[in-house]
Each structure stands twice: as C-alpha cells, then as structure tokens.
Amino acid sequence: MRVIEAPSLASLTTLGLGGTCAREIVLECEEDLCGLEEILASSRPFALGLGSNILGLDGHHDVVLVRPAFRDGPEIVAESGDMVQVKAGAGLPLPALLHFCRKEGLSGLEGLAGIPGSVGGACAMNAGSFGTTIGSHLVSCTIWSEGAVRTWAKDSLETGYRHFVPKGLENSFFLVLSATLLLQKDDSMAVGERMKSCLALKKERQPVQARSAGCVFKNPAGDLSAGILLDRAGFRGRKLGGVAMSEQHANFLINTGTGTAAEAASLLKMARAAVAEQFGVELQLEVCTVPEGALVL
C-alpha cells in the first residue's frame, strides 16, 4: 500500500483540472485490503482508476482517493467451444486488455478501442462505445466492500447506461478488484481490423488527443444525442477561459492548457441551461466529480 498526501487531481485525471485531496491510497496487492475498512471509516472515500472520466473541482477536498492498482492478467481462465472467459485486474489499462484480445483473437470489445481508462473504471461506469458495453460481456466481478472481498456473478450486478452497482451495495462504497469477461474466438486479424476501424472513427469524430474526460453529459432519452443538442444550442467550440467544448464533438469538454474547474463548471452550466431553454431537455452529467455530487448545475 502506498499513501500519498495531498494528491493533485489535475495530475491524476485526463482532463487535468482540480485541486488536491486529503490523500491517495494505492492498493498494489490484495494484502493491502487488510485494514482498509478501518482506514476509511472516518473519511470520504472515492474510487479512482486512471482518471479518464473525472472532473476534479478547485480547492482542497476532504476526500481520500482509493486506487486499486492490481494489473494482473489478462489471462484466459475458461473455455467452452468458441467462448472464452478472460480475467483482468482492475488497474489494468483498457488498451492493454484490447491488445490481448487482438493478439489472442478474441472478439466482443472492439467498440471500446480508444477509451483510455482502466478495467475497473470501465466496469464501474459500464463504459461503452459503438454499441458495445463492457457490462454486456461481464461474467463476474470481484469486489471489495465493508471489509470483505466477494465475487459477484453477472445476475447479481445491476448494469445499465453508464451504470454499474452490485445489488445490495447501492448506497455503499465499493471497489472493483477484477473482472471476468465472456468473449468469442475469432481471427486475430479480423479483430484487429475492427478495432482499427473503431479507433479511426473515434479520431475522426472525437478529440482523442485533447485533454478531456470524454463525454460530459449523458445522452437523454429520444432521438437526439447530447452532442447534437449542444451543437444546435451553439456550444460546438464554445470557449470560456482555458476550457472549451470541442470543435469536433460538442459533448466533449477540453482543457486547452490553462483551464480551471471553475471555468469548466460555468461552461457546463451555460450549456445545460441553453439546451433546457431551447429544447426542454435537462441534460445529466456523465462525468464524475470530485468531491462526488459537489457540482450542482
């Protein structure tokens, strides 16, 4: 276990915004879980992966970041006909899992190409793209909560659009430690080509090289995505100080290099209000904030 005092949210997130937290606890092996419940008993814990879906707010926060850095796997743990189960640690970068799938000729996750987060973070947000969600391929997740480690089968996990929670832990702090996924055997060249195609489309449509946290608002019900609504409301490329809504995709908030979380919050409030006024749609945040729930739009 590594404990880092006053960690910078700006340095721990892809958006690169935010102040500091009380401390960061990095879990490097399962033995580090011993005593974690006691350590977190009087704190405000926040589970952190690779910080690719996080908007850290300015200032100092009485929050303890907990980062499971288990990078074991990926490894094939079971096979049945053309179906294969692959297990990966929560701290493993998602691109590393996709590289393994391409090399081994395992299909199912190609649509996630270009998503920069960790396996644990992808599970916790039920990350998805191009019609693929990681939750739809889950066999089980190993999860820590309230001092105990337990493996939760898929039917005990509640998943939906950018939603994941073990049933019964809706109001509890938990950590994803590892995930086992069901994938299908395929030709490795074909898997690689599909990944390449998805990544090319992302680069064409999204600012994948910019400092961003991915889509900031969830897509509402109906035919129009958040990106289209924001575009029609005039927010494609809209700037405020050192932050902007991307020229490529209006639902991507980017940090141009000098941005602050206060500027980001103001721009998001303006964008949400404009969409509500013009289209009667109340956009909801997809990006997670630290502190949790502290940003009211």
Pair 43, 64: CB distance under 8 Å: yes
Pair 254, 236: CB distance under 8 Å: no
Indicate the SS3 state at residue 248: coil
Provide the residue type at 78 as one letter.
A
Closest CA to 177 of 116, 87, 286: 87
Provide the residue type at 129 as one letter.
S
At CA 58, angle to CA 268 and CA 212, rounded to 5?
50
Which helix (H) or strand (E) element contains residue 10?
helix 9-12
Q: How far apart are CA 133 and CA 111, in angstroms?
A: 8
Q: How far apart are CA 243 and CA 241, in angstroms?
A: 6
Which are the catalytic amino acids? Answer: 162, 215, 286
Count of CB atoms situated within 10 Å of the CB of 285: 17
For residue 135, give the DSSP letter: G
Count of CB atoms situated within 10 Å of the CB of 89: 22
CA within 13 Å, CB half, 214: 23
Q: How far apart are CA 284 and CA 287, in angstroms?
A: 9
